[in-house]
A and B are shown apart, each in its own frame.
Chain A
């Protein structure tokens, strides 16, 4: 066979969504009204291209990273390549079996045992039953949950659940692996294990397409990177150059610098807006001053285990603070509507540097992610006028500054 044939080849690949005139008809009555108003076809007017004119070739065995800001088209590209949705224009050819991990644990059922879920999840990912059976012991060992195999997964801790879910996915025998951000959950130790497994997969000559906002993961796992911006591939080359290109893009492209607003055609459970209340000026915060973040959440359908969490992340997108609410606490749990949510930090102790927010809205029970925003609301922390004004504070001196007093006694 021709070994030169690329594993993935795409030409003019694009996906357009309809926008304008609110959401499309979802009942027959609305559809009829539509038909009367626009007797000659749908009055669709505008289309929004989530991805446009994507063209690339990926040789077999290459691991390729995909990075880009929110709404750049990363997820759309993965959904097209994994055939979850269909393109509006262009085409792609995939040579070999495709395994897509858009979300780990898809189809896990809380009432079923670990063992039952392994087989169900394997089948959902496209594995034959005998393949799952053959690798069953490996999967269980990787997940480290052998004692709980016959326990319903609703009794699993969140960590055990994720481990099992990732273990099934990691043992998928696919020639092409399409991976979206599965590593963003779980503890450090487990993340390391997953990264190791991903590296192994890439080393065995399989083709990996990897979307992540963890620049660290991208740089360790991939040699080539595509950078997407506003639906187009704006960079395709060596990962080191790609990361530099992406950082430059982030600095240049800050349109509304210190606030975030979702696009007006966004539907479903989502964060409508985010805004910082900083102590010195817009986007500038002094270390030790009060700090607040305001959000508007839109929740059109009730979710009993809705969890809202916010990270403050540093320049290398490492999470520094973590604020979260879920369970019985928040008003928005298990009900619908629009909510204003505010986080107040009485003394914000982060050391000088540039930071941004990462926001998650997800279901804690099923791990379904409704909205995930990275790199929004960038802001700067200064240490002007703080103790030791003559001291030249630098970001690497520490991560945060704690209140403290000395007590000294001579013996």
Chain B
């Protein structure tokens, strides 16, 4: 007979190690919530997938008009639409994980007030659906790139690295936003504005080579800049970000993940009372 596990309930907080182990124990819930989101999105099959592709295409089209035609932003020698799309793929992944993670608690009050599970599962569970969206947009990109005469090469190895970096950044910010949204409803108004700002502060619509050299160090303080340039490099062979900038982003992503999780766990205990 196995010894029954003892759960102790008191006013203290579980150790981080124990919290991680518990999330692992509930991994099936993570998958179940992830597949729920996917099923719901793709159930109206054709339109579901179409929107995932149309959204970045429309954004790339607008950028192409404003930045490519009117402002004539340099594109490192690439056709503008392809140039913008290569970074929009990563940007959309980042912003959709962050946005959906931020509402994952306040949109599931039933789960939070009626049943126990590690709450971090909720913001984490938005990632599988975002990854599938990412795969769909990459497929669309591949078709366009192939039509333009591009072929993938060894630089593609940088793509998963960029995705992981963006995912960790989005998760860290998403944990904090999800927890704060329970306490302060302002978060749902502030976050879209912040995301818009971050879009223009990042090399999506333009190349970081357009940034004056003396500002570059300052520019790469934005941890999104390096992984987005890395993604564009891996897909189109535009200039790569410096290794220094990449390592800085990796460090910032890990730090943000730890801080985000700490904020989340600090507020977590009162979710059920406040939501």
Contact = CB atoms under 8 A, between A and B. Distances in A.
A28 B11 CA distance: 26
A1 B2 CA distance: 9
Given A84-B272, A100-B116, A120-B33, A94 B9 contact: yes
A27 B113 CA distance: 21
B9 A106 contact: no
Nearest to A93: B8
B3 interface: yes
Contacts of A95: 4-6
29 contacts: A17-B273, A26-B184, A27-B184, A27-B185, A28-B184, A29-B186, A31-B184, A87-B9, A89-B11, A91-B10, A91-B11, A93-B8, A94-B8, A96-B4, A96-B5, A98-B116, A102-B115, A103-B110, A107-B108, A120-B32, A120-B33, A122-B32, A123-B26, A123-B31, A123-B32, A123-B33, A124-B29, A124-B32, A129-B32
B36 A109 contact: yes
Contacts of B116: 82-84, 98, 100, 126
Contact of A86 (B11, B26, B43, B274): B11
A175 B115 CA distance: 17
Interface in A8-61: 13, 17, 24-29, 31
Interface in A56-90: 79-90
B14 to A, nearest CB: 10
A223 interface: no
Contacts of A98: 7, 116
Interface size class of A (residues with CB under 8 A): 35 or more
B114 interface: yes
Contacts of B5: 95-97
Given A1-B1, A98-B7, A129-B31, A85 B272 contact: yes
Nearest to B7: A94
A90 B273 contact: no
Interface of A: 1, 13, 17, 24-29, 31, 79-98, 100, 102-103, 106-107, 109, 111-112, 116, 119-120, 122-129, 175, 366, 368
Contacts of A83: 7, 9, 116
Contacts of B10: 87, 90-92
Given A124-B111, A129-B28, A111 B8 contact: no
Nearest to B108: A107
B6 A94 contact: yes
B110 to A, nearest CB: 6
A112 B39 contact: yes
Given A83-B7, A85-B273, A102-B115, 5 more contacts: A17-B273, A93-B6, A93-B9, A103-B110, A129-B32
From DSSP, what is the main secondary structure of chain B's interface residues? Answer: mixed
Contacts of A13: 9
A321 to B, nearest CB: 30
Interface residues of B, number: 38
A168 to B, nearest CB: 12
Contact of B272 (A79, A96, A111): A79
A86 B269 contact: yes
B117 interface: yes
B40 interface: yes
Contacts of B108: 107
Considering residues B5, B9, B274, which has the most beta carbons from chain A within 10 angstroms of its beta carbon? B9
A128 B28 contact: yes
Contact of A26 (B11, B33, B185, B272): B185
Nearest to A117: B36
B32 A119 contact: yes
Contacts of B39: 111-112, 116
Contacts of B113: 84
Interface in B248-275: 269-270, 272-274
Interface in B138-181: none
A268 B29 CA distance: 28
Contacts of B185: 26-27
A250 to B, nearest CB: 28
Contacts of A100: 115-116
